[in-house]
Amino acid sequence: MGKKTIILLSLALILAAAGYLYSGQIAIGRNYDYSDILVTRAVDGDTLKLENGERVRLIGIDTPEMHESSKLDRDAQRSGQDVAAIKQLGRQSYEFTKKLVEGKRVRLEFDVERFDKYKRILAYVYLSDGTFVNAEIVKQGYASLMTYPPNVKYADSFLKLYQEARQNQRGLWGQ
């Protein structure tokens, strides 16, 4: 091994021992306790912002878009729905998620992959009272399913909740 390699490995070990490395990324500040962290805001129906500035993408669910984007255009084309109608549904999903989690402390549970391609944390989220946020959004009819292997830990449970919400016309399905 060369001198540079030894120095880099030594630095990595020091940072890891100090709690500054996770999933190959250097954390800003300190290593956060994801078993008790504050949600500062709901970004949309399936994305949250934490007190440490990180964003969390809720695993296994997908809510309608509420802002102009290429995904909104694709969803409109795929579903045949009007863009304005999809945005309105997205706003309803956002409002539900906001009321459920904003300003509350949560616990994150991880699956196989820790980050998505946008560097958001991928997680299952639980409120301090035990409410499983991802599942509750589906159960109340404010999300569809979005499963990306290998993150499939609760896919079967989410499917049952989704089917029940649609059958009972809850949330977005009652419109």
Q: Among all residues, which ones are annotated catalytic?
A: 57, 65, 120
Query: For residue 123, what are the β-bridge partners?
Result: 58
Helix (H) or strand (E) holding 110: none
For residues 137 and 132, what is the distance between their CA atoms, to the nearest angstrom?
9
For residues 143 and 9, what is the distance between their CA atoms, to the nearest angstrom?
44
For residues 141 and 165, what is the distance between their CA atoms, to the nearest angstrom?
5
Distance of CA 105 to the CA centre of its chain: 15
Burial class for 129, CB neighbours closer than 10 Å (0-12, 13-18, 19+): exposed
For residues 53 and 29, what is the distance between their CA atoms, to the nearest angstrom?
11
Q: Where are the beta strands (DSSP E) in 4-104?
A: 21-22, 25-26, 37-44, 47-50, 55-58, 60-62
